Amino acid sequence: MNCRITLLKGDGIGPEVIDGATAVLNAVERKFCHDFGLNSMPFGGNALDLTGVPLPEETLNACKRSDAVLVGAVGGPQWNDIKPHNRPERALISLRSALGLYAGLYPAVLYPALAPSSALRADVAKRGADILLVRELSGGIYNGEHGYRDGALGQEAYDTDVYSISAVERIADMAFELARTRKRRVASVDKANVLTASKLWRATVDRVAKGYPDVEIVHKHIGNCAVELLTRPDEFDVILTSGLFGDMLVSELAAITGSIGMLPSCVVGKGAISIYGAVHGSAPDIAGKDAANPIGAILSAAMLLASSLGLRTEAAAIDKAVKTTLAKGLRTKDIAHGKKYVTCSRMAEEIAINVFNA
């Protein structure tokens, strides 16, 4: 297959984990005779330094011409003083909206064998968890009006939480459809006791739920959900929530599965180009040290092959190579528990070799 994958390495550990994913994608190209047309473009803070904007026109155009996009991470303390509209993080938000993407999908599995890495109490972790978080990304407080203004007490800043009925219907439909391929349970998470946008969210989800009588729907407030994920994560199947609450819960899921470095994700729209990437951030504290875990980026590349290119065999080869490499005992620092560990590039090389030899 000949196709075009745009790589947005971004900032911090982004370039290191994307280089790791590239090594693995190169192994897939050689083994299965593909040309993925891997092409790297500036994005986030490095693009800001280079061109004055976090999402340059050329980067956006390259993404639009691609079959799929693989992103590293954006942001870092050196851009803390940049105005919100031009921050590195805006690159990702603008790219999602320019590509018409509205749903973030975050699968998180806690394997009982990896329970020691989990932040959960041992007896809870032992029961395992298999959760898919579905996150609305086109509306909500990330995308409402924001700015500065003069208030009664002087200057103030504001962000607006906005949800349209149609945006909630569309994401709810997706969550219910996905639940049908799983355990048929949806937990919709909001703050409907306080927020107007959450009230509309809850009423809309209830209406959509009527079309899926075979799927169980429960509503939870964000605080309650955060607690239940710690006490009975095994009772969750699909979590449906907004952009901001989703951001928080994904981080909690990372701690629950014990592997913030290992979780992949994708952001999709209807028939549009999708963006794939690990859930971790740019981790400035370990950037440039070859110490990151590339597995989240590598599993995201596998998701990309399966979902955007239909290459299921190739994706399965990557998943298997990751498992083989972990079974051999190779660990990056974050999952080594004080034992011996390898560098980011070494981990990626080993996975690439295992893909090639599988």
Binding stretches for Mn ion (CB under 5 A): 247
User: Which residue is closest to Mn ion by CB?
Assistant: 247
* Rounded CA separation 147/184 (Å): 41
Q: Are 231 and 268 in contact (CB under 8 A)?
A: no
Q: Report the nearest approach of Mn ion to the CB of residue 152 (Å).
A: 33
Residue 74 near which of Mn ion, ligand IPM, none (CB within 5-8 Å, type-dependent): ligand IPM
Q: Which is nearer to Mn ion, 235 or 247 (CB)?
A: 247
CA atoms within 13 A on the CB side of 244: 17
Q: Rounded CA gap, 341 and 282, in Å?
A: 20
Q: Which is nearer to ligand IPM, 95 or 298 (CB)?
A: 95
Question: Closer CB to ligand IPM, residue 91 or residue 352?
Answer: 91
By beta-carbon proximity to ligand IPM, the closer residue of 45 and 317 is: 45
| Interacting partner of 305 out of Mn ion, ligand IPM, none (Cβ under 5 to 8 A depending on kind) | none
**Residue number of the CB atom closest to ligand IPM:** 89
Least CB distance to ligand IPM at residue 263 (A): 11
Beta carbon nearer to ligand IPM, 74 or 299: 74
The beta strands (E) that lie in 146-295 are given as 146-151, 154-159, 185-190, 216-221, 238-241, 264-268, 274-278
Nearer Cβ to ligand IPM (74/105):
74
Q: Which does 136 bind (CB under 5 to 8 A by kind): ligand IPM, Mn ion, none?
A: none
CB of 92 to ligand IPM, least distance (A): 5
Nearest distance in Å: CB 211, Mn ion: 31
User: What are the DSSP E strand ranges found in 51-167?
Assistant: 68-73, 103-110, 129-136, 146-151, 154-159
Q: Which of 336, 189, 186 is nearest to 262 (CA)?
A: 336
Give φ, ψ of 181 to 5 degrees. -90, 0
291 close to 333: Cβ distance less than 8 angstroms: yes
Decide which of ligand IPM, Mn ion, none touches 93; Cβ closer than 5 to 8 Å per partner kind: ligand IPM
- Residue 92: contacted member of ligand IPM, Mn ion, none (CB under 5 to 8 Å, by partner type): ligand IPM
Backbone angles phi, psi at 300, to 5 degrees: -65, -40
What is the three-state SS of 76-98?
CHHHCCCCHHHCHHHHHHHHHHH
Query: How far does the chain reach from its first CA to its final CA, in angstroms?
Result: 20
Site of interaction with ligand IPM (CB under 6 A): 74, 89, 92-93, 247
Q: How far is the CB of 257 from ligand IPM (least distance, A)?
A: 16
The CB-of-278 to ligand IPM minimum distance in angstroms stands at 9
